[in-house]
Amino acid sequence: MLILVANLGSTSFKYCLFRMDESGGEVVAKGGYERVSDHAGVIDDALATLQRDGVIASPDEIAAVGFKTVLGKDLSGCVIADEAVIAALEGFAAVAPAHNPPYAAGIRQFAKALPNAKPVALFETAFYQWTGAAAANYAIPRAWRDIGIRRYGFHGASHKFIAERSAELCGREDVAQIARRLYLDGPAAVSGKPLRVVSCHLGGSSSVTGILNGVAIGTSMGFSPQSGLPQNNRVGDLDSGAIPYAMRTLGLSLDEAERQLTKESGLLGLSGISNDIRDIREAAAAGNSDARLAVDALVHSIRHWIGAFMLELGGLDALVFTAGIGENNAGLRTDVCANLEAFGIDLDPAKNATCRATEADISTPVSPVRILVIPANEELVLAREVFRKLS
Ligand code: AMP
């Protein structure tokens, strides 16, 4: 089955064409466009390129298009991308302004360009649909909750992949099977020992998720991707009282406060030099105290969430690092795991130092908790879910 994964940004369009079957999948073509003003034009151009290059004889060969949608109003899951999905995306356009409008437009455009392909939306919030009400709700008035303000969670495709792969690596095929079929069958009971995992997706955008038997029990991200850990340029968790105080004291408009919290905060805001952890760690090592603060605040926040989920899970079987920082930054992994031997987290310094963007177990042979690095591949994750949905 040929599945096209469409990645739509406000001024970009990237695509990846997969050939999927029961045993897995492979990329047969990929491409992209930057500085896009007309998505319709580039989508048509991409399909023409695939034909011209002989990858497909006709666009009709593409069985499905997968969209990694962020969050929808009153809708989640892995679903056929119909008018209800478009309405859900438009309903929360103000919460995810960089993501929802291009996806709503892109789904409409693909319906015209590939009328025979099944459009499938995988919401980033899907993995959290079984999170308990106590973890999902904020203590806000009923009217706020009625307009959809609650903890949704993001990076769902990535964390779900970690739920599957960590179970496989821990020799728990029973849990892996539940995790793989989660969006088809829902959560299932596990006979025997529970499998308790904390997944750290650390990249330009970061989150930590607690996973019990393949199902998320909670996550660091909340209502919008503006929450949880300090992000590249986004603030992460912030006391709601700080916003009106800063607006009044600094004379900021709502738009300007929002801009500063989304563009000039996070690792960039704290370090004052860069939003990239590589530059920041280098500056910290050279004695820059603001850069040191940014690194320490990120590590502090990651450990805070790991601790919270370990308690809720009643212990831990695997701690997983994934995404750009999690896969590549051995120094950060060292900092996160420091002095946690009493909790069964025992990092092997040599294995950690040599592990870069490859799957590995970086714990010592005697560590009760397995410390795993699992590379993320969000396009493949999406293609898999679309394949499962349609098979
Ligand atoms: P992602 O959003 O998953 O693509 O991750 C992007 C972030 O990962 C960048 O901002 C970098 O801070 C970090 N990163 C990517 N590659 C490396 C690397 N080779 N070493 C250390 N950090 C990296």
Give the end-to-end CA distance of the chain in Å, rounded to a whole number: 9
Mutational pocket test of ligand 1: of 329, 355, 377, the residue with most ligand atoms within 8 Å of the beta carbon: 329
pLDDT at position 204, please? 92
In a domain, 130, yes or no: no
| Atom of ligand 1 lying closest to residue 277 CA | 12
CB of 276 closer than 6 A to ligand 1? Answer: yes
Mutational pocket test of ligand 1: of 154, 161, 278, the residue with most ligand atoms within 8 Å of the beta carbon: 278
pLDDT at position 10, please? 85
List, in sequence order, the alpha helices (H) in 60-150: 83-91, 100-113, 133-136, 142-146
In a domain, 387, yes or no: no
For ligand 1, atom 16, which residue shows the shortest CA distance? 324
CB of 318 closer than 6 A to ligand 1? Answer: no
pLDDT digits 0-9 by tens, 132-155: 999 999 999 999 999 999 999 999
CA distance 329 to 21: 34
Contacts of 158 (CB under 8 A, 6+ apart): 199, 201, 322, 323, 376, 378, 381
Q: How is the beta sheet containing 360-361 ordered, strand by strand?
A: 215-219, 207-212, 196-201, 318-322, 370-373, 360-361
Answer yes or no: do 114 and 186 share one domain.
no
Answer yes or no: do 232 and 370 share one domain.
yes
Answer yes or no: do 352 and 292 share one domain.
yes
pLDDT at position 298, please? 98
Q: Cβ distance 270 to 297 under 8 Å?
A: yes
CB of 225 closer than 6 A to ligand 1? Answer: no
In a domain, 61, yes or no: yes
| Atom of ligand 1 lying closest to residue 201 CA | 3
Q: Return phi, psi of residue 137, to 5°.
A: -100, 145
Tell me the residue ranges of DSSP E strands in 202-258: 207-212, 215-219
pLDDT digits 0-9 by tens, 245-282: 999 999 999 999 999 999 999 999 999 999 999 999 99
For ligand 1, atom 15, which residue shows the shortest CA distance? 324
Query: 323 C-alpha vs ligand 1 centroid, how far in Å?
Result: 7
pLDDT at position 41, please? 93
In a domain, 158, yes or no: no
Q: How far is CA 210 from each of CA 94, 265, 315, rounded to the nearest angstrom?
A: 28, 26, 11
Answer yes or no: do 186 and 118 share one domain.
no
The domain boundary, picked from 107, 122, 137, lies at 122
CB of 279 closer than 6 A to ligand 1? Answer: no
3 state DSSP class of 60: helix
Q: Which letter, b or e, does each residue of 49-84 get, where b requires 16 or more Cβ atoms within 10 Å of its Cβ?
A: ebeeeeebeebeebbbbbbbbbbbeebbbbbebeee
In a domain, 318, yes or no: yes
CB of 203 closer than 6 A to ligand 1? Answer: yes
Question: Sign of dihedral through CA atoms 323, 326, 327, 329?
Answer: positive
Query: Which domain does 200 fall in, by range?
Result: 171-237+267-378
Answer yes or no: do 331 and 222 share one domain.
yes
CA distance 222 to 207: 10
CB of 331 closer than 6 A to ligand 1? Answer: no
DSSP notation for 92-114 = TTTTSTTTHHHHHHHHHHHHHH-
pLDDT at position 172, please? 98
CA distance 26 to 387: 12
Query: 233 C-alpha vs ligand 1 centroid, how far in Å?
Result: 14
The domain boundary, picked from 122, 148, 179, lies at 122
For ligand 1, atom 4, which residue shows the shortest CA distance? 324
pLDDT at position 229, please? 98
DSSP notation for 152-202 = --S-HHHHHHHHHHHHHHTT-HHHHHHHHTHHHH-----SSS--EEEEEE-
In a domain, 129, yes or no: no
CB of 357 closer than 6 A to ligand 1? Answer: no
Answer yes or no: do 189 and 282 share one domain.
yes
pTM, rounded to two decimals: 0.96
CB of 102 closer than 6 A to ligand 1? Answer: no
Answer yes or no: do 107 and 188 share one domain.
no
> CB count, 10 Å around CB of 101?
16
pLDDT at position 98, please? 86
Q: What CATH number does the domain containing 201 carry?
A: 3.30.420.40
CB of 332 closer than 6 A to ligand 1? Answer: no
Answer yes or no: do 344 and 225 share one domain.
yes
Query: 295 C-alpha vs ligand 1 centroid, how far in Å?
Result: 14
CA distance 360 to 362: 6
Residue 207: name the closest of 347, 98, 306 by CA.
306
DSSP 3: E
pLDDT at position 260, please? 98
Answer yes or no: do 352 and 213 share one domain.
yes
Burial of 92 (0-12, 13-18, 19+ CB in 10 A): buried
In a domain, 39, yes or no: yes
Q: What's the domain count of the chain?
A: 2
Answer yes or no: do 361 and 231 share one domain.
yes
Answer yes or no: do 89 and 203 share one domain.
no
Question: What tokens were used for 66?
Answer: 């997968």
Contacts of 254 (CB under 8 A, 6+ apart): 247
For ligand 1, atom 22, which residue shows the shortest CA distance? 325
Answer yes or no: do 208 and 114 share one domain.
no
Q: At what angle do helices 156-169 and 173-180 cross, to 10 degrees?
A: 160
pLDDT at position 38, please? 86
| Atom of ligand 1 lying closest to residue 202 CA | 3
Q: Cβ distance 261 to 226 under 8 Å?
A: yes
**For the CA atoms of 3, 8, 11, 16, what is the dihedral angle to 10 degrees?**
-30
In a domain, 345, yes or no: yes
Q: Cβ distance 153 to 128 under 8 Å?
A: yes
**Residue 382, Cα to own-chain centre: how many angstroms?**
12
For ligand 1, atom 19, which residue shows the shortest CA distance? 328
Low-confidence stretches of the chain (pLDDT < 70) are none
Residue 80: name the closest of 51, 41, 119, 38 by CA.
119
